[in-house]
Amino acid sequence: MGQPPTSPSPPRPAGAGVGDATRCGFVAVVGEPNAGKSTLLNRLTGAKLSIVTPKAQTTRFRVLGILMHGGSQVLLVDTPGIFAPKRRLDRAMVAAAWTGVRDADLTLLLVDAKAGVTEGVRAIVAALMEQKRRCWLVLNKVDLVPAQSLLPLTAALIALAPFEQTFMVSAVTGDGVTALAEALAAAVPEGPHLYPDDDLTDLPERLLAAEIVREQVFLQTHEEVPYATTVETENWQDRPDGSVRIDATVYVARPGHKAILIGERGQRIKTIGARAREQLATLLERKVHLFLNVKQRAGWDEETARLRAIGLDDPG
């Protein structure tokens, strides 16, 4: 048998099978603070793009993660957790989450299977329904609960809203994540890829550096300190030897917090810097010289310029 006649066709991106069209679409990941949204984004993209800590309200702005699967480019949007906001910073975070949903072709509602159907989850489902968004349900942290609890939990949630599909995953162990990736790749609409196929995120490196430092602040300080802290990259200098010098400022809202962050004999800020530098060297694949400066700036969390500096539009 000879080869079937070939007809001229436009070049296809690597990975697309014959007969497949390319696909591309935005998928917003929403849920309560601490549901595991950022962990799932990192797991799906196979890269650490969005910072993760055991504390709620870690993510402050939308983070794009690009998942390539076959001929599909799935543009995953990690969002801040949705909660009842008080400060201007909080309002801007929640507004960023809803903008993520409005701009998306599909929304994943991530629910912590251990926490179950909380008031917060009910409120988010109601708001999603009001906006008439295409929505899938993803139960996360299935490694923490007995398997027999998942069915009643799913039933309770699908009674609240007509989710198109339900998935059960563990973003930490990776359980169920491949099935979700495959379903997403098939579900995004046909269309050209919007980003180069080897890009992982649209996050600028300066912002990524500030986030990695903020992650260490979240991990190494407690109570209100992490929530009253923000980090900005002030200076980025590529050196001729291939290394990079990064200067970042850690802003704290209250005088007492400065002393806590610096720690006895500067020990805490030293540890924050050392761990952040290690992480950055891995992420940027080069040697990193990181210099941290702690400054007090009362009311930064109500300041438009500071919110803009961390990528949040001012909600007014």
Residues in touch with ligand GTP (CB under 6 A): 31, 33-39, 52-54, 56-59, 80-81, 140-141, 143-144, 170-172
Q: Which stretch binds Mg ion (CB under 5 A): 52-60, 90-98, 119-127, 183-191?
A: 52-60
Give the shortest CB-101-to-ligand GTP separation in angstroms.
14
CA 149 – CA 156 distance, rounded (Å): 11
Give the shortest CB-76-to-ligand GTP separation in angstroms.
12
Q: Do residues 78 and 38 touch, judged by C-beta distance below 8 A? A: yes
Q: Which stretch binds Mg ion (CB under 5 A): 51-59, 123-131, 158-166, 189-197?
A: 51-59
Give the shortest CB-50-to-Mg ion separation in angstroms.
6
Q: Which is nearer to Mg ion, 45 or 59 (CB)?
A: 59
Q: Which does 140 bind (CB under 5 to 8 A by kind): Mg ion, ligand GTP, none?
A: ligand GTP
Beginning with the edge strand found earlier in the chain, give each strand of the sheet holding 135-140 in spatial order.
Answer: 63-69, 72-78, 23-31, 106-112, 135-140, 166-168
Give the shortest CB-201-to-ligand GTP separation in angstroms.
15
Give the one residue of 25, 31, 35, 38 binding Mg ion; rule: CB under 5 A. 38
CA 49 – CA 45 distance, rounded (Å): 8
Q: Which is nearer to Mg ion, 171 or 181 (CB)?
A: 171
3-class SS string, 278-292: HHHHHHHCCCEEEEE
CA 135 – CA 119 distance, rounded (Å): 19
Q: Which stretch binds Mg ion (CB under 5 A): 59-67, 83-91, 208-216, 248-256?
A: 59-67
Q: Which is nearer to Mg ion, 69 or 214 (CB)?
A: 214
Residue type for position 71:
G
Give the shortest CB-275-to-ligand GTP separation in angstroms.
16
Give the shortest CB-271-to-ligand GTP separation in angstroms.
19
Give the shortest CB-97-to-ligand GTP separation in angstroms.
9
Give the shortest CB-215-to-ligand GTP separation in angstroms.
9
Q: Which is nearer to ligand GTP, 23 or 37 (CB)?
A: 37
Exposed / middle / buried, residue 287 (Cβ in 10 Å: 0-12, 13-18, 19+)? middle
Ordered DSSP codes for 228-271? GEEEEEEEEEE-TTS-EEEEEEEEESSHHHHHHHH-GGGHHHHH
**How big is the chain, counted in residues?**
316
Q: Which does 143 bind (CB under 5 to 8 A by kind): Mg ion, ligand GTP, none?
A: ligand GTP
Q: Which is nearer to ligand GTP, 81 or 273 (CB)?
A: 81
Q: Which does 25 bind (CB under 5 to 8 A by kind): ligand GTP, Mg ion, none?
A: none
Positive or negative, the CA dihedral 109, 115, 120, 122 is positive
Between the CA of residue 282 and those of 37, 102, 246, 296, 300, what are the distances in Å? 22, 34, 15, 30, 31
Strand partners, 168: 139
Q: Which does 39 bind (CB under 5 to 8 A by kind): Mg ion, ligand GTP, none?
A: ligand GTP
CA 40 – CA 49 distance, rounded (Å): 11
Residue 59 is a binding residue for Mg ion (CB under 5 A): yes
Q: Which does 273 bind (CB under 5 to 8 A by kind): ligand GTP, Mg ion, none?
A: none
Q: Do residues 169 and 180 touch, judged by C-beta distance below 8 A? A: yes
User: Which parts of this chain interact with Mg ion (CB under 5 A)?
Assistant: 37-38, 58-59
